Structure 1
């Protein structure tokens, strides 16, 4: 199906009669994980771009095709309210969210304005970026890697600090014998395919169940030696980068609340920007206990679907940073609403983003239009071809630690680089934009009341 630029239709775009006619997908690998790109086609030649959450399934979006065909994509919230019952937390929110993003792209293209303008205008012209940073070795090595980020212009940093640094250090962890070995075996298997994609053959068995055991139930504890190791690691990092630049930490590991408290107390002197996802977000009372026990700011939210599910954490008074992912929350408008509610509770908002430039630009528009926004994550700054997926954006997209907010219609993406997408297709989905007719008439009585 031919992709048409919004203004290549003789100016005959009529937003009032715009209708969705088709939805198709392309799965690419290694950006940094598998990403499912969405195209929504219309009766007037406009094409909207969306995306399912990273490492998810296109089925979460495809199953909704019959609910949106024939609808006017400019009625974004009407469509969202029709399909939001089919979303769920984390990757299960990716289908609803991706469709919502594509509708905003179409609405902006149809009316000739950027998405941020449809959200009420912008608070900033540039979006501050932070990026996860990997490093082999000790804290000094990580500090040098972060120092290199600073040299690239980044003014906000994040790194991992937790169980994975200790798993090969003798005497640093206590766990049921054999548990850690099975977790390592599972992780090695599950990410064994190119681009870090998940091998579905590993998504079963005892090792899978162990790896997916929630934090309070693993029996893993940090020993005093382990706490000493992580404290020294952080001291070595700060010795390299100084104390002036904000530094957040992530991936503590599946350790219980009490160990999170012990670690947080050890790290208070290092002036952390936030400690991310220390425990499952649903365990609000544990967040309250953690927040009351430490002065380290606490952040979570990348796996939360819908604004109302953030409210218990806000009401607890112990969340310093809301950290939603646009492709899990329900989309662009829902993420803005989350930011606005967070502001009412005195909470700032950073945005998680580990997908293609489509998701990145959706987050950019939210960030521009939300007052209490702080920083946007980009997981792909070291992937040389990542920004080439989208055509029409500035090059480089991330420039001196920032992304410029576009003033062009929709998300600001003119087209997708079809040659590059063809080159990067996931082997399980070798055909880009193949017909999805099998989903045209998927039907059920969706009403949730009698």
Structure 2
């Protein structure tokens, strides 16, 4: 059996799908993308597939992963690791089909019967979040996440801090103490502002504060942790176990958030999860992406005992022109019941992609994140 062909599809709202075909007619799917850099990742996938994978046996996934990663002198980073991630997902999808089993059964079997999920509220510049929170809780979600702020200056005003605290207070008042509310700093916040915001938010008991500083400032996390009892989450912009090693050794991060489409795929994130477990760190995979990425997340969630909760992008503010369920032949696989999603029992990723719909929607997707600027014209973190 050999890999005989592959295709890439850019589809709305901002996703890139990979289709890999084998000589016995099986088809595996992956989702290799960096949001806003789909064309760049596409080129990386083509290079890896043409150089290493076409004509090869798809089964030795670990060897393929090592070859794609270590076969190049320059390693890591969002583009290469996202390309590897999508290919890895497709190879695991093929492997599961070969054994007629979900991927999690090939990774040791279930550690749970279902996976808790959270729902986004608000947008990039969060507003009216109390009403949105109530609506999502009425739909059955027991956990929510929201952005803390829009752009912030390096040292901003008391009013900016108070506004963020007021938004969280409104959500907490709307949903009560039984609902978890994560607050995403989104890397928009400098070290001094992160400390001030954490102190201001703490009375409203957020589930966690996410990415309180940019990953290049990971050395600041111990100082921030010393100012708050709120659990700290980070990791969506870390791409391998080596990137996560520093935060584990610091001992101050409580929840890691690797992305199955950025951090090397199923093969690598399963290893990251095991490392986290050894440090008593929970995992909540990042996934504001499409159905293939989410399916990959659920497979790892199923067999990783330290998974806390799963992000998913249904109705997220980015999803204009397409949403998670649109590309599935059977959307019920992601039916959320009481704030949970059940484990899929189908082979491989456990989803069936509506290939005709993918082909109909495929084209050039020119999505790029906005460039924000401060009042003085300087670039602000988005």
Asked if TM exceeds 0.5, the reply is: yes
Cα separation, 2, equivalents of 1:136 and 1:237: 16
- For residues 425-448 of structure 1, the C-alpha deviation after alignment (integer angstroms, 9 at most, x for no partner) is 23369xxxxxxxxxxxxxxxxxxx
Distance 1:394 1:337, change over 3 A: same
What aligned pairs does 1:66-105 form with structure 2 within 5 A after superposition?
A: 66-85=51-70, 88-105=76-93
Could you say which residue in structure 2 is the equivalent of 1:410?
348
Distance 1:44 1:136, change over 3 A: closer
Structure 2 residue matching 1:287: 3-state secondary structure: helix
Cα separation, 2, equivalents of 1:289 and 1:428: 41
- For residues 305-338 of structure 1, the C-alpha deviation after alignment (integer angstroms, 9 at most, x for no partner) is 1112111101101101001101111111211111
Cα separation, 1, equivalents of 2:294 and 2:250: 30
Q: TM-score, normalised by structure 1?
A: 0.74
Q: Work out which of the residue numbers 37, 48, 57 in structure 2 matches 1:64.
A: 48
> Which stretch shows the higher mean deviation, 420-429 or 91-100?
420-429
> Which stretch shows the higher mean deviation, 281-290 or 314-323?
281-290
Could you say which residue in structure 2 is the equivalent of 1:390?
328
Gaps spanning 5+ residues in structure 2: where? 367-382
Residue 123 of structure 2 corresponds to residue 117 of structure 1: no
Instruction: Say whether the 8 Å CA contact 2:81–2:239 is kept in structure 1.
Output: yes
Cα separation, 1, equivalents of 2:64 and 2:248: 28
How far the C-alpha of 1:388 sits from its partner, in A, is: 3.3
Q: Work out which of the residue numbers 272, 284, 297 in structure 1 matches 2:218.
A: 284
Residue 111 of structure 2 corresponds to residue 132 of structure 1: no
Cα separation, 2, equivalents of 1:361 and 1:275: 25
Q: Work out which of the residue numbers 356, 362, 376 in structure 2 matches 1:425.
A: 362
Residue 344 of structure 2 corresponds to residue 359 of structure 1: no
- For residues 237-267 of structure 1, the C-alpha deviation after alignment (integer angstroms, 9 at most, x for no partner) is 2111112211111145533201100111111
Could you say which residue in structure 1 is the equivalent of 2:374?
none
Structure of greater Rg? 1
How far the C-alpha of 1:60 sits from its partner, in A, is: 2.1
After the TM superposition, which parts of structure 1 deviate over 6 Å for at least 4 consecutive aligned residues? 136-139
Cα separation, 2, equivalents of 1:368 and 1:313: 24
Q: Work out which of the residue numbers 339, 342, 359 in structure 1 matches 2:273.
A: 339
Structure 1 residue matching 2:341: 3-state secondary structure: strand
Cα separation, 2, equivalents of 1:97 and 1:390: 20
Could you say which residue in structure 2 is the equivalent of 1:203?
none
Q: TM-score, normalised by structure 2?
A: 0.87
Gaps spanning 5+ residues in structure 1: where? 1-17, 165-172, 176-219, 430-450
Distance 1:148 1:54, change over 3 A: farther
Could you say which residue in structure 2 is the equivalent of 1:27?
10
Structure 1 residue matching 2:44: 3-state secondary structure: helix
Q: Work out which of the residue numbers 122, 130, 135 in structure 2 matches 1:143.
A: 130
Cα separation, 2, equivalents of 1:119 and 1:226: 46
Cα separation, 2, equivalents of 1:239 and 1:308: 41
Instruction: Say whether the 8 Å CA contact 1:80–1:100 is kept in structure 2.
Output: yes
Could you say which residue in structure 1 is the equivalent of 2:245?
311
Structure 1 residue matching 2:134: 3-state secondary structure: helix
Instruction: Say whether the 8 Å CA contact 1:37–1:49 is kept in structure 2.
Output: yes
Distance 1:367 1:242, change over 3 A: same
How far the C-alpha of 1:138 sits from its partner, in A, is: 7.8
Distance 1:395 1:240, change over 3 A: same
Aligned residues: 354
Instruction: Say whether the 8 Å CA contact 1:146–1:241 is kept in structure 2.
Output: yes
Distance 1:375 1:138, change over 3 A: closer
Cα separation, 1, equivalents of 2:28 and 2:359: 19
How far the C-alpha of 1:398 sits from its partner, in A, is: 3.2
How far the C-alpha of 1:119 sits from its partner, in A, is: 0.7
How far the C-alpha of 1:401 sits from its partner, in A, is: 2.5
How far the C-alpha of 1:347 sits from its partner, in A, is: 0.8
What aligned pairs does 1:250-261 form with structure 2 within 5 A after superposition?
A: 250-252=184-186, 254-261=188-195
Cα separation, 2, equivalents of 1:263 and 1:151: 29
Cα separation, 1, equivalents of 2:334 and 2:88: 27
Distance 1:257 1:47, change over 3 A: same
Superposition RMSD in Å = 2.2
Structure 2 residue matching 1:394: 3-state secondary structure: helix
How far the C-alpha of 1:24 sits from its partner, in A, is: 1.1
